[in-house]
Structure 1
Amino acid sequence: MPPIRGILLDIDGVLHVSMKPLPGVVKTLSWLEQQGYATYFVSNTTTMARATLAQRLQQIGLPVSEQRIITAPVAAAGYLRQHFAGKRCWLLTKGDTSRDFVGIELVDKQADVVIIGGAEELLSYETMNAVFRMLMDGAALFALHKNMYWKTTDGLQLDSGPFVRALEIASGQEAKVFGKPAPAFFQQSLQAIGRTANETVMVGDDIENDIGEHRK
C-alpha cells in the first residue's frame, strides 16, 4: 500500500461545530502542512461560494485558503468544464454559488445542463415544469445532493432531493450527483489535490454521508 500523501478534511463537524473551532484543529493543520501532506477541505454546502466559505472560516481563526476548498458546486463546475465545455447551464441554487462557475454560461432557458442544489424555495411548479421540458429536450440533470429533508428550529423541512427524484421519474433520466459521498465528488477532489485514491484519506464525522461505499 502506498504511503498517505493526501488528506481530505470535512469542514463542518471536523474543523468546527456551529462555527466554533474544535480543540487542537489549528495545531493539527499546521502539523499537516509541515509534514508535506496535500491537505484540502471538503463540504457539501450549496449556498455559498468557496471564497465566501473561506472568509468565514478565516474569521473564526481557521487557516483555510479558498484554493484548498472543494464543495459540491466546485466539483460540478470542474466536471462541466471538462465534459460539457461551451454548454449552457441553468444553476438552481441560493446564495452566491454562481461565483464558482466562472467561464460557464449560466442561463434560465434552453439549457444543456440543469443543476439543482439548495433551491427549495425556487422550485415552483413553473420552474419544475421548465426543467422537465429541458430534460425531455436532451438536457442533462445534475444534483449537488439528493438529501430528502433537513432539520430546522421549526422542525423537519423538505430538501432538494424529492424535487430531483420527481424530475428523474418524470424524465426517465438519473441525475448525476456531485456532493459527498458520490464518486464524482471524490474524482474531482483527487484531481484537485493531485493524488490517487490509494494515497489519500478522507476524514469526516458521518461515515455514511461523508464516505459511504468508499470506506470499503
Structure 2
Amino acid sequence: MDSEREPVRVVIVDDDQLVRMALRLVVDGEPDLTVVAEAADGDAALLVVDEKRPDVVLMDVRMPGRDGLSTTRELLTRPAPPKVLMLTTFDSDDLVLGALRAGALGFVLKDTPPARIVDAVRAVADGNPVLSPVATARVIAAATGPASSGTRRSTRDTARKRLSTLTERELDTAKAIADGLGNPEIAERLHISVATVKAHTGNLFSKLAVENRVQIALLVRDAEE
C-alpha cells in the first residue's frame, strides 16, 4: 500500500466488548489501518459513523436492538457512506444473502484468521467485494438451491423488471459482473474500453439503486432463476 496514503479509518460495531477489544488490537496493529471508534449496537453505530466518517465499518450481524442488517441499510442511505464488512459467528444462508442484499461489501466469520480479516478490511476499503470461503459456498448454494415456486417466481419477476430498465450494453456489463469479471476482463469480453465499462457500471448503480457489484451480481442471478 502507498506509504503516503492516509490510514483506512475503521469503526468496529459489536455488542461483545471482548470481541471489540480483540478486533481493535488486530486492526490497530497494522500501520495502514486505524480504529477511530467502537459501538455496541446499531443505534450507537449510526451516531459514531456520522461523527467519525470512517472508510470501513466492521459490523456484527446479530445485536440487541437494531441489528447489523438494519444498520447497514440505514448507513447506506447516508451521503458518501462507508464500506461495510459484516462479521459474525453464524454462517446461515439467510445471514449471508441478507448482508449482501443490505449492501455489505464483504462477509467473513469471526473465527477468520486475523491476517485475513485485515486483508478483508483493505479490500473493501478499495471497493472490492470479499466473501469467506464458507460464505461463498453459502451464496452459491442459496442461489441454486430449492425454494418454493411462488417465492422463486416473485424474486425472478422483480429482478427481471429492474433489469428491463437497462440498455443492451448495460445488461451485458451486469452479466459480466455476475460472472465475477473485473473491468479489464469485461472490456475484453465486450470489446469496449475500460472507461466505457466504468461508465456502464456507474449507470448500473444508478438505475438499479444498488451500492456495489455484489448486489448487481445477485440481481442478475435472481433474474436467471
Relative to its length, the structure with more strand (as a share) is: 1
Q: TM-score, normalised by structure 1?
A: 0.31
Q: TM-score, normalised by structure 2?
A: 0.30
